[in-house]
Structure 1
Amino acid sequence: MHLFLSTVSMPGIAGIMMTLATGPGMEMLGPKKFLLITLLPAGIPWLVQAFTPYLSLFYLGRVVSCLIYTALGPVTAVLIAEISVPRIRGLLLSVEEITVAVGQLAMYVMAHSLPWDVATAVCAAPMILVASLTFLVPESPYWLIRRGQKDAALESLKKLRGPTENINLEFQEISASIQGIRQITIKDQIKQLARPQNYRPVLLLTAVFILRELGGQYVVFSYSVYLFRKAGVGLDAFVCTVLVGVVRLVFTVVGAAVVDSVGRRPLLIATSLVCGAAEVVGAVFLLVDVPGTSWVPLAAVMVFVSSYGLGIGPIPWALMGELIPTPVRSIGSSLCNLNFSIFSFIISFVFPYLLEIGLGFAFLVFAAANAFLTVMLCAFLPETRGKSLSDLEDTFQSSPGHSE
């Protein structure tokens, strides 16, 4: 149990360390180059874990793979937000969550049907593919303009928008949002973080990520087999776990397809509410222990997973790229990811002790966090659908209220 607990907690521990370097790395090298440097060696630690005969090297491979994984969230959110057009930005920002869902489902299947070393080695292949595709992605025009490389920024926009598009207006908007604000170094961004319109969205998104973790998502996906066995579900636990992966993937794709038409705000509020309600239902049936109702906790988990994939999973990452203003986007996204990693570790570490009180009680704690998240979103979250990053720069200048 201690080995399993340390392995499950590893991403959170690694994330705490890696986020301290992600923001400065993005700002120094540029989001695209930092992403490429992170991805190029990403397959090696998986191969080390698969084939090393030494436990110390296995743990080293696990730590390095987790370091790489935790760097990808803020870097991809920033880069995609800064290179995409508003009408499909939500869809593109959801692609990362779709790949996570695909990878998680693949791991469920491989863990059940392949030897663990083969399944682990296979994980290196997607890293090589993604690293190769990253070479084709232009650098962020926002970063290039901040660095005074205006010609390179224009060339980047031409590649991104196509030769027939008029990019002059967008170039001027980006330049205007950056003009007069010194933000070349992390020290400059820390100074900019003191301004209300810059720290308010960072605080809001930090709270969103913390409450999302306290809502139990990490536990549901990391301890799924254990949860089903503990709940006494009649189906084979691995079948239930694969079903979790399929449901998450399907609804993540659906969420990505509708997020640019429905909007981030209503989708996130609705799914956080449904996640909390599903946990309450599951908790009640676990605490009451009615004979013949073991399917109810399974159904509650499936409702939670579908709602998570539909909105509460991908949308916070999208908002991190959209709501954090340009002057503090690198450091702000890193701070959000830092708190996400800290609370991922706390939840994964504390959850086994919560089980000593009871699984039903743990679900009630998670439901309370989702209820609080729903209230906070209703009160403070603005809508970002269809707006350019330049339009969103001053959303929080007066107060973090609604913005339609």
Structure 2
Amino acid sequence: MMRLILKRLAPLAFAAVALIGCGQHDDAATPVKSSPEQIARGRYLARAADCAACHTAPDGAPFAGGVKLESQFGTFYGTNITPDPKHGIGKWSADDFYGALHDGVAPRHKLYPAMPYTSYRQMSREDSDAIYAYLMAQKPAALPNVEADLKFPYNVRFAVRFWDMLFLKDTLPDASSGQSAAWTRGRYLANALGHCTECHTPRGAFGQMQGAKTFQGGELGRIGAPDITPAALAARGWTGADLQAFFATGTAKQGSAFGEMHPVVYLSTQHLSAEDSHALATYLVGDAPREPAPLAVVKLADAGQLTAGRGLYLDSCAGCHGFDGQGKPHVAVGMNGNSTLRQSDPRNLLVSMLDGIEAQRFPGVENMQHMPGFAQTYSDEQIAQLANYLRATWGGQPGDVTAEKVKSLR
């Protein structure tokens, strides 16, 4: 998930790097005494916190870093958090590790706030120590870190201290809120470990999360993290059971995890216990969840636009997604009631249509085939027509996508 956050913070005043492995002046790793039970618990928590997303490169050693992370302010790289004493965190103590998670302070410098210590600071010391024990039990990888190449003034670490003074705070509500035990556990999973707020909450001019708008959606450049408040989830047809299926398998009747959400499922949420998956869903929909909204019936004022869009769908989409939008198992998701089509903001739909979607591997036997992009096949006007047909027919949304909107996302 940290990889996602770095992309989501690209437009902000503070571009980011993840944990930087550095330590004292000797070459010996810090000896750690941990029980097998604590290490096993740390493994579970590291997955729940999605550590691998930023710290394990494709085909690379686990947690050895090297994940390339782009932003408009420069390029930076996930770092080595193996117990290697020179390049990793082998010389860090448990106190050092907790300081990085809780306060964003590494042994030798301040971390930038895209390392989600703004959320991890809500993690218990016990859980922090368990993750530390797990990481210190991994095989050291002598892989040097690649220095971040960030533009001025975003590479000035000292300024982050002033940012912390203004914006760093604990955000978990009072534990005596009167909610169920499942809701309370889900809140911890979502806010402290999974740090969902980092992506799904709007941010201010200085990159700070706007706490009054928690989970109301975040700007992600060309795409957006959708609103996942209880009301918004219900409006797009989600139930707690659907969310549990989505967390565990990456698929639900509302669609599948794609793009930046796919690694969240594959690396993190699929590994949650059934109890924790239920708790996370309970927190998101609430102890007294709303009924999922029925699909609205929309009539386009321009019937010709609907006809043109349907023709494009039959030509290029129906073979995989079905003549009636029913989808095809192991090939493509259904369109009827698809959550992306039901979003009021069409950007995620448009970017998917323009760029395509890579083949998605999911837990178990489910997979979704590669979806080609149509940026070179269809004009802006044709993409708008197709999007309006999809949204009006199966998303309950108005056919208000314009060619200019499509052009802005190319």
Tell me the TM-score normalized by structure 2: 0.23
Structure number with higher strand proportion: 2
